[in-house]
């Protein structure tokens, strides 16, 4: 039983392998947060709550003579603005009479088998018997506004999910100005914040700063998760490292505007509030209706970031990603984008596909430029029918020939967008977001379709479904190439315009849901100008996401490193591209590009006809190596061995089979130096008593413990950004005296 209720003490305890989460109902009905941290084996943590009279921290009316009791200092599970908790709050509500605030008191709870689902939204799922749900109901006795706090407990996987449902049991409409998924009080402790910032072509860069007495915000108002601030943060001790120390992960399963606030309050307590951004959010909730927030995936590790990442890797791989390709080996693809951009013909594509097939590639993906009048990124979006000038006879001749080469065929689409210069826009200008009587902001010269509208979604569904019905398309890259602005729906009344951003996201989910349900054999890859929508919600619909538009391997090391804190390698789209690299102009060896792309879904994004014979041999070697290491890479445990931003001249990372039987160590000299020091890394995760050989150097044998505590020394490598992979195989156990 991972959830327990102590009736006498009114204690609710959630237990996972390494953590305990506890809350308590008091005699007034307030729900106190007591503890989230290392397993305490069911101990009652109520003693942690001590309260003193604090100036300017008032007291609820019913406790008025107890000046020590204040919502402003009490650790709580969920809080509302306006009734005496002056810290950041989870909820801001305007009641029917115009007043602000809700006074939530406990009215009951349920413990249910399995993991709750969230209507119309992606959520972590239970594979059968591995999760339990706690649902705690709090109600405002006057307005009868209810909040149901839901907790999904995955005991073995060390994950707790949280979300909230607001139900209006009153007689009047209420307006929700802010509804967070979670409020997490962390009394005591001084924490560092780790977050993942960036920009287009430079996503998820790791930054770690100590919290100060302030309200710090990690957020996106771009209508998307964003390249700029991923909706994932870690709070950790100042001393926490990869292998030791307390850390907490909070990851929002949502793809629109998001906001994580972290406040260190007057008494040095930390509070985190995470959920949909309240900017341009105003939701009218009529009597009898509910509002559901997206959920947060929480994890706690007592032993550093590596364990925290492993917890996320496991839950995302097994309980977020779905469908045929969740566990199946994904095809090694070649995408024509960086090979041709918009400039291609049928013959040119076939020439590429022929050479790709010859080298061992398994799927050919035609990227942007195949539809409408799409000869540049200024026109055509919205017209999802073939550009016959480029592809006479439609998709069929291309797909048939590609299939005849033994390759699967994949296609790029960007369904959420429209160009002004398109038949779709000319027919339905009102389908694109714009503010009344104004010109909208252009982004890549395109506009965003109003996916809050059913008619728009139905139209898009039909376009894409027709393509998939009529053609043998086995992969779809679903792109999204601008931030949302001018968000205004012509189908909603003025007082409901604050709902459009969220309804847009729900619309995207509905469309993705219909297509992935109706075409279960298609492999979907998410994309938003690279990794602008890299989040667990998109991974619910597509098991992989194009990680970044930057394919330079040296930059990619940093991007994939940051991404790895929350997301498994099996989700990171990574390709070998041409050199010099198109984004940075840097020249790197093909081998190094292969080593980096192999720590992802692996594929190519270049014209293979331009490779020398020697390079073609290298590609064949890479493909053979990727196939050989596939399960070790995708299912193995991932270890970061260096911090690319400050560990000097090389980067290293490692995969270890879950049973310790083999390991792949990857090392790239990311900043070559003359007369350099030796590259020496302490390996991780090996069987300490196992005897390993380094494949290719079988005469040397190493004890697992020796490699982990003494380390492994690489030979000195010379040249521009050289790299090396070491494959260790366990050949026996050490004989002990």
**479 touches ligand GLA (CB under 6 A):** yes
Q: In the set 185, 368, 383, 450, which binds ligand GLA (CB under 6 A)?
A: 368
Question: Residue 631 burial (CB < 10 Å; 0-12/13-18/19+)?
Answer: middle
* 246 part of the interface to ligand GLA, by CB under 6 A: no
151 forms bridges with which residues in the sheet? 134, 162
Q: Of 367, 364, 428, give the one whose Cα is nearest residue 399.
A: 364
Give me the least distance between CB of 688 and ligand GLA, in Å please: 43
Q: Which of 159-167, 189-197, 523-531, 723-731 is the region at the interface with ligand GLA (rule: CB under 6 A)?
A: 523-531
* Nearest residue to the partner ligand GLA, using Cβ: 368
Q: How far out from the chain centre does Cα 555 lie? A: 20
Nearer to ligand GLA, 546 or 721 (CB): 546
* Catalytically annotated residues: 535, 615
DSSP-assigned beta bridge partners for residue 13: 4, 22
For the window 427-466, what string marks contact with ligand GLA as x by the rule CB under 6 A? ----------------------------------------
**Structure tokens given for 154:** 């995955």
- CB of residue 369 vs ligand GLA: minimum separation in angstroms? 8
* Candidate list 155, 367, 499, 552; residue touching ligand GLA; CB under 6 A: 367
CA angle 126, 131, 132 (to 5 degrees): 125
Nearer to ligand GLA by C-beta: 281 or 337? 337
Dihedral over Cα of 73, 78, 84, 86: its sign? positive
Q: Kindly tell me which of 596 and 664 has the beta carbon lying closer to ligand GLA.
A: 596
Q: Name the H helices within 565-715.
A: 590-597, 613-635, 704-705
Buried/exposed code over 639-650 (b: 16+ C-beta within 10 A; e: otherwise): bbbbebeeeeeb
Which of 278/550 has CB closer to ligand GLA? 550
Min separation Cβ 531 and ligand GLA, Å? 9
| Residue whose CB is less far from ligand GLA, 20 or 481 | 481
Give the largest CA-CA distance in the chain. Answer: 86
C-beta atoms surrounding 188 within 10 Å: 11
| CB 593, min distance to ligand GLA, A | 16
Write a three-state SS string for 677-711: CCCEECCCCCCCCEEEEECCCCCCEEEHHHHHHHC
**Contact (Cβ atoms closer than 8 angstroms) between residue 288 and residue 168:** yes
Contact mark string toward ligand GLA, 22..41, x via CB under 6 A: --------------------
By beta-carbon proximity to ligand GLA, the closer residue of 261 and 368 is 368
Q: Would you give the DSSP letter of residue 439?
A: P
Strand partners, 270: 186, 264
Check the CA dihedral 161-543-230-721 and report its sign.
positive
Map residues 392-431 to x or -, x wherever contact with ligand GLA holds by CB under 6 A. --------------------x-------------------
Binding string, residues 262-281; x marks residues near ligand GLA by CB under 6 A: --------------------
Please tell me the distance from the alpha carbon of residue 145 to that of residue 139, in angstroms, as a whole number: 6
- Between CA 426 and CA 439 the distance in angstroms is 15
Give the integer Cα–Cα distance in Å for 556 and 576. Answer: 11
Where residue 84 falls (left for φ over 0; alpha for ψ -120 to 50; beta otherwise) is left
Question: Phi first, then psi: what are they for 98, rounded to 5°?
Answer: 90, -10
Residues 331-360 that bind ligand GLA (CB under 6 A): 337
Closest contact distance (angstroms) between CB of 143 and ligand GLA is 46
Nearer to ligand GLA, 584 or 661 (CB): 584
Q: Residue 260 CB, nearest distance to ligand GLA (Å)?
A: 25
What tokens does 456 get? 């728009």
DSSP, collapsed to helix, strand or coil, labels residue 653 as strand
527 near ligand GLA, judged by CB under 6 A: yes
Least distance from ligand GLA to the Cβ atom of residue 551, Å: 9
Q: Can residue 524 be called a binding residue for ligand GLA (CB under 6 A)? A: no
Nearer to ligand GLA, 378 or 676 (CB): 378
Q: How far is the CB of 395 from ligand GLA (least distance, A)?
A: 17
Q: Tell me the per-residue interface mask from 296 to 335 with ligand GLA, x by CB under 6 A, - otherwise.
A: ----------------------------------------
Closer by beta carbon to ligand GLA, 413 or else 554: 413
Q: Which stretch binds ligand GLA (CB under 6 A): 260-268, 352-360, 525-533, 606-614?
A: 525-533
* The only residue of 306, 309, 387, 481 in contact with ligand GLA, by rule CB under 6 A: 481
Closer residue to ligand GLA (CB): 416 or 549? 549
Strand (E) or helix (H) holding 168: strand 159-168
Q: Which residue among 84, 122, 275, 529 contacts ligand GLA (CB under 6 A)?
A: 529
Q: How far is the CB of 575 from ligand GLA (least distance, A)?
A: 9
Dist. CA 88–CA 520, nearest whole Å:
43
| C-beta closer to ligand GLA: residue 353 or 657 | 353
Alpha carbon distance 300, 339 (integer Å): 44
Alpha-carbon gap, residue 707 to 688, rounded angstroms: 8
Task: Name the segment binding ligand GLA (CB under 6 A); options: 178-186, 292-300, 447-455, 524-532.
Answer: 524-532
C-alpha closest to that of 722 among 594, 572, 561, 617? 594
The residue (of 246 and 552) whose beta carbon lies closer to ligand GLA is: 552
Q: Answer yes or no whether residue 531 interacts with ligand GLA by CB under 6 A.
A: no
Residue whose CB is less far from ligand GLA, 157 or 200: 200
Residue 441 CB, shortest distance to ligand GLA, in Å, is 18
Tell me the torsion sign for CA atoms 516, 522, 526, 529. negative
Find, among 269, 232, 272, the residue nearest to 77 by Cα.
272
φ and ψ at 281, to 5 degrees? -120, 125
Q: What are phi and psi of 144, to 5 degrees?
A: 60, 35
Write down the least CB distance from residue 381 to ligand GLA, Å. 9
Beta bridge partners of residue 654, listed in sequence order: 639, 665
CB 547 within 8 A of CB 530: yes
Question: How crowded is residue 57: how many other Cβ atoms within 10 Å of its Cβ?
Answer: 23
The 8-class DSSP code of residue 440 comes to P
The position carrying tokens 């890859």 is 525
Residue 387 has phi, psi (to 5 degrees) of -80, 100
**From the CB of 530, what's the least distance to ligand GLA, in Å?**
5
For ligand GLA, the binding residues in 537-576 under the rule CB under 6 A are 546, 549
Contacts (Cβ under 8 Å, ≥6 apart) of 114: 126, 129, 131, 132, 133
Span of 527-535, 584-592, 612-620, 663-671 interacting with ligand GLA by CB under 6 A: 527-535
Which segment (136-144, 266-274, 526-534, 677-685) binds ligand GLA by CB under 6 A? 526-534
Per-residue H/E/C for 601-625: CCEEECCHHHCCHHHHHHHHHHHHH
CB of 376 to ligand GLA, least distance (A): 10
530 is a contact residue toward ligand GLA (CB under 6 A): yes
Choices 75-83, 313-321, 522-530, 563-571 (CB under 6 A): range interacting with ligand GLA: 522-530
Using CB under 6 A, list all residues that contact ligand GLA: 337, 367-368, 377, 412, 479, 481, 527, 529-530, 546, 549
């Amino acid at each position: 039983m991972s959830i327990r209720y102590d009736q006498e003490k009114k204690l609710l305890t959630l237990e996972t392998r390494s953590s305990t989460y506890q809350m308590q109902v008091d005699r007034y009905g307030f729900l106190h947060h007591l503890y989230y941290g290392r397993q305490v084996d069911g101990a009652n943590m109520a003693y942690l709550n001590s309260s003193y009279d604090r100036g300017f921290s008032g007291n609820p009316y019913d406790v008025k003579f107890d000046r020590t009791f204040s919502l402003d200092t009490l650790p709580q599970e969920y809080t509302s603005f306006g009734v005496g908790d002056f810290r950041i709050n989870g909820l801001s509500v305007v009641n029917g009479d115009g007043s602000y605030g809700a006074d939530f008191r406990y009215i009951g709870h349920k413990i249910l088998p399995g993991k709750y689902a969230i209507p119309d939204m992606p959520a972590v799922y239970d594979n059968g018997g591995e999760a339990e749900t706690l649902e705690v109901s709090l109600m405002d006795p006057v307005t009868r506004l209810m909040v149901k706090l839901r907790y999904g407990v995955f005991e073995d996987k060390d994950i707790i999910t949280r979300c909230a449902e607001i139900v209006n049991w009153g007689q009047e409409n209420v307006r929700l100005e802010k509804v967070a998924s979670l409020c997490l009080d962390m009394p005591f402790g001084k924490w560092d914040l780790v977050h993942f910032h960036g920009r287009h072509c430079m996503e998820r860069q790791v930054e770690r700063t100590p919290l100060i007495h302030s309200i710090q915000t990690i957020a996106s108002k771009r209508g998307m998760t964003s390249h700029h601030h991923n909706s994932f943060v870690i709070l950790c001790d100042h001393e926490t490292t990869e292998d030791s120390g307390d850390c907490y992960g909070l990851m929002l399963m949502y793809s629109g505007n998001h906001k994580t606030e972290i406040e260190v309050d007057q008494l040095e307590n930390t509070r985190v509030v995470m959920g949909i951004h309240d900017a341009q959010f105003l939701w009218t909730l009529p009597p009898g209706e509910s509002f559901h927030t997206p959920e947060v995936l929480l994890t706690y590790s007592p032993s550093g970031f590596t364990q925290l990442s492993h917890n996320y890797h496991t839950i995302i791989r097994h309980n977020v990603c779905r469908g045929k390709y969740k566990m199946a080996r994904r095809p090694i693809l070649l995408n024509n984008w960086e090979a041709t951009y918009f400039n291609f013909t049928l013959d040119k594509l076939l020439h590429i596909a022929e050479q790709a097939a010859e080298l061992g590639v398994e799927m050919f993906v035609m990227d942007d430029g195949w539809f409408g009048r799409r000869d540049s990124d200024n026109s055509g979006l919205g017209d999802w029918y073939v550009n016959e000038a480029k592809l006479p006879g439609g998709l069929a001749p291309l797909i048939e020939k590609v299939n005849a080469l033994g390759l699967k065929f994949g296609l790029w689409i960007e369904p959420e967008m429209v160009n002004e210069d398109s038949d779709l826009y000319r027919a339905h200008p009102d389908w694109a977001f714009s503010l009344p009587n104004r010109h909208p902001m252009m982004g890549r010269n395109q506009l965003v379709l109003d996916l809050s509208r059913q008619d728009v979604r139905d139209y898009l569904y039909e376009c894409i479904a027709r393509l998939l019905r009529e053609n043998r398309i086995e992969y779809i890259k679903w792109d999204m190439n601008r931030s949302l602005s001018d968000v205004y729906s012509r189908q909603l009344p003025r007082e409901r315009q604050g709902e459009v951003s969220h309804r847009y996201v729900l619309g995207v989910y509905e469309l993705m849901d219909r297509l992935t349900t109706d075409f279960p054999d298609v492999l979907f890859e998410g994309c938003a100008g690279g990794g602008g929508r890299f989040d667990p919600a998109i991974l619910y619909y597509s098991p992989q996401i194009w990680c970044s538009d930057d394919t330079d391997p040296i930059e990619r090391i940093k991007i994939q490193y940051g991404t790895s804190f929350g997301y498994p390698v099996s989700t990171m789209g990574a390709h070998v591209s041409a050199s010099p690299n198109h984004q940075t102009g840097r020249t790197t060896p093909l081998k190094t590009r292969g080593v980096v792309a192999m720590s992802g879904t692996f594929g190519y994004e270049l014209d293979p006809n331009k490779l020398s014979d020697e390079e073609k041999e290298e590609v064949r070697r890479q493909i053979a190596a990727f196939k050989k290491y596939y399960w070790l890479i995708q299912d193995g445990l991932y270890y970061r061995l260096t911090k690319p931003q400050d560990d000097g001249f090389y980067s290293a990372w490692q995969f270890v089979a879950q049973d310790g039987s083999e390991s792949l160590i990857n090392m790239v000299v990311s900043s070559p130096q003359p007369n350099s020091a030796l590259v020496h890394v302490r390996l991780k995760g090996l069987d300490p008593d196992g005897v390993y050989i380094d494949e290719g150097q079988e005469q040397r044998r190493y004890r697992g413990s020796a490699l982990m505590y003494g380390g492994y020394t690489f030979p000195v490598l010379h040249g521009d950004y050289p790299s090396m992979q070491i494959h260790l195989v366990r050949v026996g156990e050490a004989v002990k005296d």
